[in-house]
Structure 1
Amino acid sequence: SEGTVVLAYSGGLDTSCILVWLKEQGYDVITFLANVGQDEDFKAAKEKAETLGAKKVFIEDVRAEFVEDFIWPALQANAVYEDRYLLGTAIARPCIARKLVEIAVREGAQFVSHGATGKGNDQIRFELSCYALYPEVKVIAPWRISEFYKRFKGRKDLMEYAQV
């Protein structure tokens, strides 16, 4: 094994393909799905991760800490982007990363991974949070690895890969 990686998992196409790809690269993969209040079929996501070969699957309800430690302080600080947009999704990333790191440390994982593409700021939010909390961790960001993004140029390639 190349080591153990904890993957921030959604159960969607990207992170499901990343789970399989990480296994192909020789990693033991543990998945983590955070319940921050989204409408999600957590049971189906757990079953999918297990079917795809996740060594362990963690689904944790972080709604209370998301509100208390992230949403409430953001509201108190009037953290609104361009005087218009609430930052619910952006603020969720450090909350998810905190639990991701907690699981990585507890499970002795040397790596964490996520499905954020290079197009947005989610990758930065995840990674800076992870490094701040676990400086020794190595982040595997598949969408920035040329072997991965050359193989999967878009959803069509991911769909074909998922059907194999």
Structure 2
Amino acid sequence: MLKIQVKTFSELSLHELYRILQLRSEVFVVEQDCVYQDIDGKDEKALHVLGFKNEKIVAYTRVFKPGDYFEFASIGRVVVAKNERAFKYGYDIMKVSIEAVETHFKEKKIKISAQAHLKSFYNNCGFIEVGDEYLEDDIPHIAMIKA
């Protein structure tokens, strides 16, 4: 069972921040073989949605209010540890992330930049594609909106 918490940057412990950055690096840099600047200066503005299993962070997103990333509220850095994906924790972490946008920012419209191969996952979370695919860090992405 996943225990999910929503925290501001200043509420994160050093251990939590280290584990978040480690998980993002494991998946987005190593597993996806993509060299990019993960630490982009935006974490301080974000709400952080942490999914814990046995006291370890195994799922994560960061959430932004309108104007801090896109013109609409947004969810990004959606990640689940490789050995935990069979449990479908992506749906749990996205559900809480969407609720966090609604609760903390009083917003319903959310924009994401989704990896194209995950379109159906995000469709199942209520997002629809807008526009054409594009490359972001050499990985096909598509903009998606949940209204």
User: Which structure has greater strand proportion?
Assistant: 2
TM over 0.5: no
Band of TM-score, shorter chain: 0.3 to 0.5
Higher RCO, 1 or 2 (CA under 8 Å, sep at least 6)?
A: 1
Instruction: Look at both structures and tell me which one has the larger radius of gyration over its CA atoms.
Output: 1
